[in-house]
């Protein structure tokens, strides 16, 4: 195990442990991955304003959102197939989040079912797709309510799956074939630790939330075939309105990048919006999440809560997102990498690193509480304008000692 000092160290540790097709599934994006890179690079263009001689002996990282208090404005975002990264991975990650006083969002396409995760970790958030089979939709909402799910994240930026070249090359995606099976078998053969942890001891290898519909005892390809047949490209604002009528708890719309869409969502009564491009995994060549955030914040004001995912790799990024209008960030890849590398302990450690980085950034910008974060923490209007307009220019580089 390499020395772990930050989130990107966990990325390398995950790369060393996972079969290639699973690592590329976590790590990759759509098409040429320009938006995937922009999610990270655009954070580097936002400059924090350092302040000195401020009494920062007491810092408050806590937040209150959707009627609950959390230790800091961070949640674990939904990632599909997490149970293939580590044995019963969703349950492990949810326990780490709960111990840290943070929310955990379970994906519809999780390995562990909502029943298994809530039994292991208590109340969670649930990420939800509207599918053609509306009976499944109604049953899934009922299951979530029965398990005490506290908030529903309705994901709307996947009308059709994005084209992900890495998944095609690695054997993660594509039609079943002997060549594809061979690529995956070869990738697993060189990762014996993963084979023992997940391949042997991580069963059942299913998508637990779909099991009642697809059936038990079938292979994973049968689940993906069901997803391919049932993901509904005809979902509209009317479906959101209907969901708002049926779901009594907090309803969060995930996958918004356009201010007009944000305004319309608020008009339909959503409790929160996740500014997100699906981690750069859907439409390549669009805005990064942090570039889209300021205009959406300006459009909706305080009429709803704003969350953000995509590109957050540190507590510094977290503070920048808060300064530009977010109420909370959701960690997707950071959670997946740390889970793959070290399981529940890895997720707990990663969250501790992010929290320490956040507190250091708050102290050096003179921000005493996360609720007070605003644009006064950033350097000038030029940096803000660059982010809002999505201007691509090189991030600041440190001078070498030779210079």
- Which residues belong to the active site? 278
Please report where in the chains the tokens 């450690």 appear, as a residue.
349
Our measurement of the distance from residue 277's CA atom to the centroid of its chain's CA atoms, rounded to an integer in Å, reads 10
Per-residue b or e along 17-46, where b marks 16 or more CB atoms closer than 10 Å to that residue's CB: bbbbbbbbbbbbbbbebbbbbbbbbbbbbb
For 401, counting Cβ atoms within 10 Å of its Cβ (0-12 exposed, 13-18 middle, 19+ buried), the class is exposed
Q: Are strands 151-155 and 125-128 parallel, antiparallel or unpaired?
A: parallel
Joined tokens for residue 79: 């990632």
Torsion on CA atoms 389, 44, 361, 63, rounded to nearest 10: 50
What's the CA gap between 36 and 33, in Å, rounded?
A: 5
Q: Of 282, 233, 226, 197, nearest to 22 (Cα)? A: 197
What is the full DSSP assignment across 29-98? -STT-HHHHHHHHHHHHS-B----S---SS-B--EEETTEEESSSEEEPP-TTGGGTSTTHHHHHHHHHH
- C-beta of residue 176 within 8 angstroms of C-beta of residue 276: no
Joined tokens for residue 130: 């509207």
């Amino acid at each position: 195990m390499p020395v772990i000092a930050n989130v990107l160290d966990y990325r390398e540790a995950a790369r060393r442990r996972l079969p290639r097709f699973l690592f590329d599934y976590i790590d990759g994006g759509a098409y040429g991955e320009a938006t995937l890179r922009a999610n990270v690079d655009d954070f580097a263009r936002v400059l924090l304003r350092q302040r000195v001689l401020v009494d920062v002996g007491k810092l408050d990282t806590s937040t209150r959102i959707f009627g609950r208090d959390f230790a800091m404005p961070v949640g674990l975002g939904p990632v599909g197939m997490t149970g293939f990264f580590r044995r019963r991975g969703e349950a492990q990650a949810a326990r780490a989040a709960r111990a840290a006083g943070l929310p955990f969002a379970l994906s519809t396409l999780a390995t562990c079912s909502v029943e298994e995760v809530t039994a292991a970790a208590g109340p969670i958030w649930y990420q939800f797709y509207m599918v053609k089979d509306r009976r499944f939709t109604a049953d899934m909402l009922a299951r979530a309510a029965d398990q005490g799910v506290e908030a529903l994240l309705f994901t709307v930026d996947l009308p059709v799956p994005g084209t992900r070249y890495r998944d095609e090359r690695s054997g993660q995606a594509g039609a079943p074939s002997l060549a594809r099976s061979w690529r995956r078998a070869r990738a697993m053969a060189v990762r014996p630790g993963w084979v023992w942890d997940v391949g042997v001891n991580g069963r059942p290898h299913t998508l637990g939330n779909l099991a009642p519909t697809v059936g038990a005892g079938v292979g994973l390809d049968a689940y993906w075939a069901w997803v391919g047949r049932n993901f509904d490209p005809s979902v509209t604002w009317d479906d959101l309105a209907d969901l708002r009528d049926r779901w009594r708890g907090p309803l969060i719309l995930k996958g918004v990048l356009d201010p007009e869409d944000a305004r319309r969502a608020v008009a339909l009564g959503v409790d929160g919006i996740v500014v997100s491009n699906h981690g750069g995994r859907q439409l390549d060549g669009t805005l990064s999440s942090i570039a889209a955030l300021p205009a959406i914040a300006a459009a909706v004001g305080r009429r709803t809560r704003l969350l953000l995912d995509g590109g957050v790799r540190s507590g510094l990024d977290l503070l920048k997102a808060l300064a530009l209008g977010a109420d909370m960030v959701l960690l997707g890849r950071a959670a997946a990498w740390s889970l793959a590398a070290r399981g529940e302990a890895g997720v707990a450690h990663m969250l501790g690193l992010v929290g320490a980085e956040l507190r250091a950034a708050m102290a050096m910008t003179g921000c005493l509480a996360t609720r007070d974060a605003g644009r006064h923490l950033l350097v000038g209007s030029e940096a803000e304008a660059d982010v809002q307009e999505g201007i691509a220019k090189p991030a600041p580089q440190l001078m070498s000692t030779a210079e």
